[in-house]
Structure 1
Amino acid sequence: MMSPEQNDLITRIGPGTKCGALMRHYWHPVALADELPDARPAKAVRLLGQDFVLFRDERGRHGLLDRDCPHRGTDLAYGRLENGGLRCLFHGWLFDVDGKCLETPAEPEGSVLCQRVRQRAYPVVVKNGIVFAFVGEGQPPAFPDFDCFLAPTSHAFAFKGLIECNWLQALEVGIDPAHASYLHRFYEDEDTGAAYGRQFRAASSDSDIPMTRLLREFTRPRIDVEATDYGLRLFALRRLDERHTHVRVTNLVFPYAFVIPMSAEMTITQWHVPIDDTSCYWYAIFTSFGQPVDHAAMREQRLKLYQLPDYRPRLGRHNDYGYNVAEQASQTFTGMGFDINVHDQWAIESQGRIQDRTREHLGTTDKAIVAYRRMLLSAIGLVANGDKPPMWLDAARATRLRGPIAIDGMGPTEGWQSYWKDVDTRRRGNSSWAANTVPPLVA
C-alpha cells in the first residue's frame, strides 16, 4: 500500500509538482492533426494543468503559445489567423509561431512596444497524424526510431479519446495483462473475418483459436517483466498444453506510453497524456506492417464510439457505460457492450478521479505496475536532483531505440523465448516498409 503523500507524488503533474517537473522533460501529444482544419486551424489545448493555444499559420507552420495574451490576459484561442500569426481580438496584437510580437496596432505610430514583448512559445512537431509539443525548459529530447514514427502515413492511423480520471490509472490498465480474461470476456465467439480494426477479435496468429475463446478459457497467465532501455517489456504466457503456449509481448515506454499488438500485422502505440490531475487523453497510432491502413474504416469505427469535438466517449460515466443486466448474464462479462475501450474506461474511471492507492492490495499479476511505479519514483528523484530521467534521448541514443516488438501468437511451450523474436523478424521481412528498417535490438 502507498501513503497519501506517495500517491500525490506520482499522480499530480501541475506546475510546481515533482512529477510535473519530470513530465516536462518529454514531448507530449497535444492534438490530432485533423483537429486543425483549413477553415480555422487553431484550438485551445490543456496539458499538464496549463492552458495553451495551438495553431497553424498560412505557411503551414505549427505554433503553440501560452493561451493568455501578454497584454491584458485575454484568450488567444479565439484569435484571428492573419498576417503570419495569431491576432488577439482585444487590441489586435499579433504573434507568430515563435511567440514574436509582430504588431501592436492600437499603439501610437512609431511605437516600439512590440519589440519588447514576447509570448512564451513551445516547440511543436507532427508525427503520423499527432501533433507533439515540448513545454519544458531547455532543449527537447529526440524522438526514438520507433515503428509508429518510421511507418509511412499510408500505414499509420491516429486517433484519441477523453478519459475523466488521473493519467496514471489510465496508463496502468495497459500494463495489466491479466485483466483481459475477465474485463474483456465474451461468451460467444464472433466471425474473425470482421475483426479489422478491433482488438481481441481475430484468431491468435499461428492458430485458428479465436482470441475471445483463448482469453475466456485460459484465465491464469504467467506474467514476466524485464527492464529495457525504453522502459519495460511484458510477457503474458497462457499455457494450453505441453506443446503450445500463447505468447503476448507488450511494452511500457516511459513515461506513459505502451505498445501492444492489435492483430498479427498491426500494433498500437498509445500515450496517456495528462490534461490535468483529474482528466487525460489517450492518443494512439495504429501501425500496420501489412496492407495500408483503411483510414476511412478505422475512423468510422471510432466515431461511432466517440463524439467530436472533444472526443468524448458516447458510453461513459454519464450513462452508466451502457450497462445492461441481461447482456451481463449471457453475452459479456461486463454487460457493457462489445467495445473493449468502454470496458477499460469503466475500470479506470470507477477507481475515482484520482485512485486512492492507500486502499489497494496488489497481487502477483500486478508485477508490471509495481515495476513501473518504482521506475516513476526513481525518475522523479533524478529530476529533483538535477539529472536527466529515463528516455530523455539525445540524437545518438534515439537512433538505437527501435520497435518495440509487440506480438501475440501461438508459440511452443519449450522455446517460447526465441519464438516471439522470430515472429517479428518474419513480419518485418514481409512488410513493404519495415523490411527496409533496421530490426529492433532485443536481449
Structure 2
Amino acid sequence: MMSAEQNALITEVSAGKPAGKLLRHYWQPAALAVELDSTRPVRPVQLMGQNFVLFRDENGKLGFMDRDCPHRGADLAYGRLEDGGLRCPFHGWLFDTEGNCLQTPAEPKGSTLCKRIHQKSYPVVEKSGIIFVYLGEGEAPSFPDLDCFIAPDSHTFAFKGLIDCNWLQALEVGIDPSHASFLHRFFEDDDTDAAYGRQFRSASAESDIPMTRVLREFDCPDIAVSPTPYGLQLITTRPMTEEQTHVRVTNVLFPQAFVIPMSSEMTITQWHIPINDTSTYWYAIFTSFTAPVDKEKMREQRLQLYTLPDYKPRIGRDNDYGFDPEEQASKTYTGMGEDINVHDQWAIESQGHIQDRTREHLGQADKGIIAYRRILVDAIEKAGRGETPLMVLTTDEAASIRGPATMDGVCDSGDIEHWHKVDARRRSGAPWQTASTEH
C-alpha cells in the first residue's frame, strides 16, 4: 500500500511534475502516420498536458511545434500549408518545420521582426507507422534495435486507441499475467485457424492447444520477474500435466511499453502515452515473423471497436462496456463481448481516472507491478538529480538492445528453457532477419 503522495509522484505527468520530467527524457508516440493524410496534413496533439501542432509540409517533412501562434496566441492546428511552411490564418505569419518565422506579412517593408521570432519546435521522426516526438532538453536518445523497428513496413502494422484513465494503470494491466485467466476467459474455444489478428484466440506455440483453454483451465500461474537492460522480463508458467507446461514470456520496455506475444507468428509492442493525467492513448506496433501483415484486415478488425478521427472506443463508460448478463452466464467471464481490449478498458477505467493506490492490497501475483514501480521511482529520482535514467540510450547502447524475446507456448515440463529455442527458431526464420543482423 502506498501513500497519496507516492501515488501522485508516479502518476502526474505535467511539465512541472517529477514523473513528467522523467517521461520527457524519451521519444513519445504522438500520432499514427496515417493520421497525416492529404485531407488533413495538420493535426492538434495533446501530450502530457501540453498542446502541440503536428504537420507534414509540402515537401513531406514533419514538423512538431507548440500550438499557440507566438503573435497573438491563435491555434496553429487550423493553419494552412503553403509557401514552404505552416501559415497562421489570423495574420498570415508563416513558420517552417524548425519553428523559424519565414514571413510576417502585415509588417512594414524592411521590418526585421520575423528574424527575432521563433516558435518552439521539437525533434520528430516516423518509425513503423508511428510518429514519435522528443519533448526533452538536449540531444534526443537513440532508438533501440527492437524487432518492431527493424522489421520492414510490410511486416508491421500500427494502431492506437483512447483510454479514459491515467497512463500508469493502462500500462500496469500488461504487467499482470494472472488477470488473463479471468478477465479474458471464454467458456468455449473458437477455431484457432480463424484467430488471425485476435489475441488469446490462437493455438499455443509448439502445440494445437487453444490459448483460451490454457487460460480457462490453468488459472494459478507461477510468475518469475527478472530485471533486464530494457526493463523487466516476466516468465509465467502454468503446469498442465506432468509432461507439459505452458510458458508465456512478456516484457516491460521502460518506461511506458510492454512487448508481448500475440500469436506464434506475431508480437505486440504497446506504449501508453499520457494525453494528460486522466486520459491516455495506447499505441501498438504488431510485428510479424512470417508472412507480411494483412494490414487491411487488421485495421478493419480494430475499426469495429474504435471510431475515427480520434480513435475513441465505441464501447465504454457511456454504454456500460456492452455488459450483457446472459452472455456473462454462458459465453464470456465478463459479459462484455469477445474483444479483450474492452475487457482491459473496463478493468483499468473502473479503477477511476487516477487509481487510488492507497486502497489496494497487492499479492504474490502482482510481483511484476511491484518490480516495475520500484524501477519507476528510481528513474524519477535519478532524473530529478540530473542523472541519466534507465533506457536513455546512446547509439552503442541502443544497438545492444534487441528483441526482446516473447513466447506463448507449451514446453516439456523438464525443459522450460526450451522457449529460448522456440524464439530463436522463429527469429532466425523471419524473412527480414538478414536485414536485422546487418543493422
Report the TM range for the smaller structure's normalisation. Answer: over 0.9
C-alpha displacement at 1:438, in angstroms?
A: 3.6
1:433 and 2:432 correspond? yes
d(CA) in 1 for partners of 2:250, 2:385: 31
Q: Aligned partner of 1:33: which letter?
A: A
Would you say 1:185 and 2:210 are equivalent positions? Answer: no
Report the counterpart of residue 82 of structure 1 in structure 2.
82
Which residue of structure 1 lines up, in the alignment, with residue 355 of structure 2? Answer: 355
Q: CA-to-partner distance for each residue in 1:108-149, whole Å, 9 max, x for gaps?
A: 111110000000000000001000000111111000000000
1:371 maps to 371
Residue 168 of structure 1 deviates from its aligned partner by 0.1
Contact 2:151 2:436 in 1 (8 A): no
Q: Which residue of 1 aligns with 2:411?
A: 411
* CA shift digits 1:77-111 (9 cap, x unpaired): 00111111111111100000000000000111111
Residue equivalent to 1:311:
311
Q: Structure 1 length as normaliser, TM-score? A: 0.98
Deviation at 1:437? 2.6
Question: For 1:160-196, what per-residue CA distance to the aligned partner results, in whole angstroms no more than 9, with x for missing partners?
Answer: 0000100000000001000000000000111111100
Instruction: Provide the C-alpha distance between the structure 1 equivalents of 2:435 and 2:58, rounded to a whole number of angstroms.
Output: 35
| Contact 1:164 1:349 survives alignment (8 Å) | yes
Alpha-carbon distance in 2 for matches of 1:349, 1:232: 25
Which stretches of structure 1, 4 residues or more, deviate above 3 A after TM superposition? none
Work out whether residues 68 and 74 of structure 1, in 8 Å CA contact, stay in contact via their aligned partners in 2. Answer: yes
Q: Which residue matches 2:142? A: 142
Partners of 1:2 and 1:264 in 2: CA distance:
38
Residue equivalent to 1:323: 323
Give the equivalent residue in structure 2 for 1:333. 333
Letter in 1 for 2:51: D
| Structure 2 Cα separation of the partners of residues 241 and 40 of structure 1 | 56
Aligned residue number for residue 424 of structure 1: 423
CA distance in 1, matches of 2:427, 2:16: 44
Look up the match of 1:165. Answer: 165
Q: Deviations over 1:240-286 (max 9, x none)?
A: 12211101000000001000000001000000001100000000000
Question: CA separation in 1, counterparts of 2:185 and 2:438?
Answer: 34
The answer to whether the 8 Å contact 1:265/1:288 transfers is yes
Measured in 2, the distance between the counterparts of 1:26 and 1:392 equals: 7
Alignment-derived partner of residue 45 in structure 1: 45
Q: Is the 8 A contact 1:160 1:282 kept in 2?
A: yes
Following superposition, the deviation at residue 434 of structure 1 comes to 2.0
In the aligned structure 2, how far is the partner of 1:438 from the partner of 1:245? 32
Residue 435 of structure 1, CA deviation: 4.6
Distance, in Å, in 2 between the alignment partners of 1:439 and 1:260 is 25
Deviation track 1:381-421 (CA, whole Å, cap 9, x = no partner) reads 0011110110000101000000001111101112212x111
Q: Describe the shift of the 1:311–1:390 C-alpha distance in structure 2 as closer, same or farther (beyond 3 A).
A: same
How far apart, CA to CA, are the structure 2 residues paired with 1:354 and 1:412?
42
Distance 2:326 2:404 in 1: 41
Deviation at 1:425, TM superposition (A): 1.1
Distance in 1 separating the partners of 2:298 and 2:127? 18
How far has the Cα of 1:39 moved from its partner?
2.4
Distance, in Å, in 2 between the alignment partners of 1:370 and 1:84 is 50
Q: Give the letter for the 1:302 counterpart.
A: R
Name the SS of the counterpart of 2:98 in structure 1.
coil
8 Å Cα contact 1:167/1:278 also seen in 2 = yes
Q: The residue matched to 1:54 in structure 2 has which SS?
A: strand
TM normalised by structure 2 equals 0.99
Q: Residue type matched to 2:32 in 1?
A: L
* SS in structure 1 at match of 2:20: helix
Aligned residues: 439
| Residue in 2 that maps onto 1:387 | 387
Q: CA deviation at 1:233?
A: 0.3
Displacement, 1:301?
Answer: 0.3
Separation (CA, whole Å) in 2 of partners of 1:438 and 1:336: 43
Residue in 2 that maps onto 1:273:
273
Identical aligned residues as a percent:
65
In 1, distance between residues paired with 2:213 and 2:242? Answer: 19
Q: Partner residue of 1:402?
A: 402
Unaligned runs of 5+ in 2: none
The whole-number CA distance in structure 1 between the counterparts of 2:75 and 2:126 is 24
Whole-angstrom CA distance in 2 between matches of 1:182 and 1:148: 29
Contact 1:428/1:435 (CA < 8 Å) preserved in 2?
no
Per-residue CA shift, 1:12-43, capped at 9, x if unaligned? 00010000000000000000000001123110
- Alignment partner, residue 153 of structure 2: 153
The CA distance in 2 between the partners of 1:432 and 1:384, in whole Å, is: 44
Report the 3-state secondary structure (helix = DSSP H, G, I; strand = E; otherwise coil) of the residue aligned with 2:272: strand
